[in-house]
Amino acid sequence: MSAGATHEVDLLIIGAGPTGLYATYYAGFRDLRVALLDALPEVGGQIAALYPEKALYDVAGFPAVRGQELVDALHAQARSADPLMLLGRTATGLVEDEDGVEVTTDTGETIRAGAVLITAGIGSFTPRELPVGSEYLDRGLRYFVPRLAELADQDVLVVGGGDSALDWALGLEDVARSVTLVHRRPQFRAHERSVAQLQESSVEVLTPYEVAKVAGEDVIEEVVIETRDGERRTLAVQAIVAALGFIADLGPIDAWGLEQHRRHLLVDRTMRTNRQRVFAAGDLAHYEGKVKLISIGFGEAALAVNHITALVRPGSALTPGHSSDL
């Protein structure tokens, strides 16, 4: 698409992760003309960029599915809507009037739509840095493991106590020579199933420790961990995976006048924000009792698209019936 081009659609979806891909399919199912925009050059969002080999267990219909496999299936489903794909672009400006919404991008394009659905996950994301040893980034220290095989036959230290830390530790168990998990608290913030699997695995779990020192001439050779009481241990490792969470940034969306709760967009029961033609679904959307699951994002996407259909095409039924009736 050329810079300065203008596109007209019924619905613009911002964010091409799982929720955005499903929303794209569902918008096509409701016979809407849809454009899908994302800052990344490929669809899939965080899952494709950071966790393509991660096994997911909470998606309906799949006892377990790799992240990239889920993205590929959702992408194939979304293509049935024949969407206008606007990848490698960032939404910058938004102007709303009685008839629709106009969104501009950093490439100079303009998208005119009846409504906008924001499914941008947590927005852009920056990993929280390991407090010590940052100078070893790309020399043994990493924050993501897109390909587990990159750590084959290495002694790996995973730092963190959330889902990502446990997932990577468990995923590396049969790949790395050894895996040690260090967390500063005895309790973990991960899913109960993952904690149970960790306890039954060969991963060495050391709590409550924090990384005190990282050493090595050119690459990481050893790590010193320490408790608050000053007890120290030295570990011989060649790789550190620091899974300490992310710092989220909504980018230009932050200036669109959308009500927020702790960096998330507040929505009502129709997934509408405080702006008449701007909706949100997935991890970025917030309401009382919200639970962040991919499967819930799918439901929120369908709910939002149904209400958007009634908004942009007055007289349309709120519910479409069953797909098997088509």
**Parallel, antiparallel or unpaired: strands 155-159 and 239-242:** parallel
The pLDDT of residue 26 is 98
Q: Is 154 annotated as a binding residue?
A: no
**Residue 219 in tokens:** 């690459």
The predicted model scores a pTM of 0.81
- Whether 197 has a binding-site annotation, put simply, is no
Within 13 Å of residue 144, how many CA atoms lie on the same side as its CB?
15
Find out whether 125 is annotated in a ligand binding site. yes
Who contacts 52 (Cβ-Cβ below 8 Å, separation ≥6)?
44, 66, 67, 68, 71, 146, 147
Burial 76-111, CB ≥16 within 10 A → b, else e: ebbeebebbbbeebbbbebebeeebbbbbbeeebeb
Whether residue 38 is annotated as binding a ligand: the answer is yes
Task: Tell me the pLDDT band of 322, cut-offs 50, 70 and 90.
Answer: low
Answer whether 225's CB lies under 8 Å from 235's CB. Answer: yes
- Sign of the CA dihedral with 184 first, then 248, 73, and 325 last: positive
Q: Can you list the domains of the chain with their CATH numbers?
A: 6-125+246-325 (3.50.50.60), 129-242 (3.50.50.60)
pLDDT on residue 122: 65
pLDDT of 324 above 60: no
pLDDT at res. 250: 77
Looking at per-residue pLDDT, the higher value among 231 and 4 belongs to 231
Looking at residue 323, its pLDDT comes to 60
Contact 11, 316 (CB under 8 A): no
The answer on whether 324 is annotated among ligand-binding residues is yes
110 marked as part of a ligand binding site:
no
Q: In one letter, which amino acid is 133?
A: G
Report the pLDDT averaged over residues 131-141. 95
Place of tokens 């991008």: 105
Neighbour-count burial of 15, counting CB atoms closer than 10 A to its CB (0-12 exposed, 13-18 middle, 19+ buried):
buried
